[in-house]
Structure 1
Amino acid sequence: MMLKREDLQAAADAGVLDPREIDGLLAFLSQRDQQAQRGTPRFSGTHVLYYLGGMLAISAASLFATLAVEALGMGALLVLSVLYALAAVGVAVALEKRGLGIPAGIFATLAIALVPLAVFALQHVLGFWADGPTAEHYRDYHSYIDWRWILMELSTLAAGVVLLRRFRYPFLTMPIAVTLWYMGMDIVPALLLQAGGGSVEAFAGAAWQLRKVISLVFGLVMLLIAFFVDLRSRHDRDYAFWLYLFGLMTFWGALSMMGSGRLAGKLVCLALNVGLVFLGAVLGRRMFVVFGGIGIAMVLGDLSWNLFKDSFAFVLVLTLLGFALIATGVWWSKREAAISERLRTLLPVQLRELLEARS
């Protein structure tokens, strides 16, 4: 709610507020807004440059690693990556003291992104990757799925939690979310290796089906973690955004690849995507609506192409369904406030506060 002096003066005239408190209250609110905006991203030229520069610096880590290894070896890469990360933390602290919250958060994020690089170099120094055919370069971490990346991922998560507790900027959750996403893929080969007692083909037969199930569950766990974070930070900045995004990518990606050609499986997938749309509407998270909408379009497209390609009745049903959804939207727009208020009275206080804050 935006308050103006006229609003406070009206409250004073009505006897609700002491007129002598108006100036002090305005000064306090102005100072609080300035402090909040220091770490809050906005779509402006300055912030675009901040984030573009940060992403370029993070992406350059792979090239930095390759050149350092070719020139100096893994031992030097370990030392350089640790010094690079410490320097990034030092710059983040200095920027935070100057009130530059967003670039401070970006440098702290860079430090987190350098952790797997340092662990990768340490593993090579210790001979851990001696038989790893897909770990000649650090860039393989972003290209290949291998269970031995898990130690790097766990180290990154630990460093991310520590730095997030120190700096408290939402952008720091981005490398944490990406790492959880990677872990969701890498943990499957580790489980398959233990179950198979040796090397297994993870993209064929029963192993491929198990991979999809585990990815689906892992994505769901990420979404639950994101919801818990969202609930805890409902009065603060949005720390759950990146967790929601990569949790959805893991969950929805596995969901889209699951199921057989049977109609029942397609309908279950369709129902889950519809559920994502409604969940996004309830939580005020558009990404749920986007993923769910794409999933609905994919399922309906698959049905129309494979099962009902010669059926005019299916076309008629889709048309009527579309019209029904539009009519429902019109009806809902007129009653949304009253229905939402009535439903929210049935929810726990914390969940009501979350929905009000995010809406």
Structure 2
Amino acid sequence: MISTTIPHHLRRYRKALFSLALLLPFVLLLGLALGAYSIPPLAIPQILLRGEGLEYQVLTALRLPRVLGAALVGSLLALAGAVLQGLFRNPLVDPGLIGVSSGAALGAAIFIVLLPGAGPLETYALPLFAFLGGVLATQVLWWIARTPMGTQVLVLLLSGIALNALVGAAIGLLTFLATEEQLRSLTFWTLGGFSAVTWTTLLSGLPLAFLAWALLLPLARLLNALVLGEREAFYLGADLEALKRRAVAGAALGVGVAVALAGGVGFIGLVAPHLFRLLAGPDHRYLLTGSALLGASLAVLADLLARTVAAPAEVPVGVVTALLGGPFFLYLVLRYKREVYRA
């Protein structure tokens, strides 16, 4: 007789995914309801169906694109973080280490300081410059890491650290040259926020976001094989070069879209995968989807905190995520140190 009992670890994964799938709509509803102008959460469906009034305008013109944009950005950053941590086999890797975030910030800074007066084109050109900056930075790192023996993952990581330092210096120089008005825009791109997300920018980023999801989500089984090591994964039939290309391209695309929409929002790509591992486990078949769901909820909650803690003023979302993610990162470092010491 064949047993139909589901193993305990699979039940844990499915329970975690189901809980996160229920959490996200609740967090989205909370993000729509709360703010400088509060709206009763249970009244939101009725307001949207009515299609008129001040509350309807607040929801459709301001809250909906912002909250959905935050969820999109959070899911992309968390998914990219989970994939890169699996690729580098290092739990402390963040999407910013492959240079996408810094390259995107530099692209935005170049547009703001060196190409002023764009007028109406700024709505479209500024995110485009940010996206192109992120993709170009990743291409440079990929070229540096390429060898006749294949792509060296360690070289890619070290080059990313060096590139981040160089880009930081370039942004510092542009900050020195910027006017007071340009400095305000630069602050947004370096600290991050969702206040500039509109239906236009959100819809323009969706196709690229879908492409990033399509590239990254199917990598789960290959990343599980890579946990054993590159040699073992090769003997299991994994095409490692294709895996590296697809993982880096998908992560660069996803993080590029995220930075183009929201600027530099850090730590979500580091924190979300780890929280899911604590909730359920490290199996990438569930980790990738779970990280995306959890990252979406974390980004919406961070944005909610940023616009309510000092209302009607707004704290940059990047500050909120850094204040919450920084201590968590130190906890991970200390935990990793203890594990190495025990070994």
Structure of higher RCO (CA pairs closer than 8 Å, 6+ residues apart)? 2
Larger radius of gyration between Structure 1 and Structure 2? 1
